[in-house]
Amino acid sequence: MTISVGDRIPSVTLTKATADGPDQISSDDFFKGRKVALVAVPGAFTPTCSARHLPGFVDKAAELKAKGVDEIAFTSVNDAFVMGAWGKASDAGDIVMLADGNAEFAKAVGLSFDGSKFGMGERSQRYSMLVNDGVVEQLNVEAPGAFEVSSAEHLLSEI
């Protein structure tokens, strides 16, 4: 079942990419007591994700924070080393890179897909969500192959 506005984020373990290496964190702890713009992409370093999606949030980070967003995070079904390298290569600044290496988070929120025919295995759908103290306030899931409603500009327009 797909997560909906008003639902609580499921409790799973994610891995945060840090300068000191991977750091496991529970989703309960990560989302507790703050407003988080969470963006999920099918893969780090993939064309749309690297050329448009992440750069849009880097460019609009200050505007999102001015509207009350405490943290911006990207998640993908990649390991923490790949997520860390992607953040660094993209000059992602303060955006938190959350690895969902086994697609546990993507599956728990009901937003995974089978990318096997592209050689990618289980992946996350492309979406953005605004999470306030662990509860989904906004959810913008893209149609397959699209990049419209999960953009930084769209999320900003909803806050």
Active site residues: 49
- CA of 96: how far to CAs of 22, 91, 119, 143, in Å? 12, 12, 26, 25
Q: What distance in Å separates the CA atoms of residue 123 and residue 118, rounded to the nearest whole number?
A: 11
Specify whether the CB–CB gap between 77 and 103 falls below 8 A: yes
- Pick from 31, 49, 32: which is nearest to 40 by CA? 49
What residues pair up with 135 in beta bridges, in sequence order? 8, 132
Q: What distance in Å separates the CA atoms of residue 142 and residue 120, rounded to the nearest whole number?
A: 18
**Which tokens in the block code for residue 91?**
């000059």
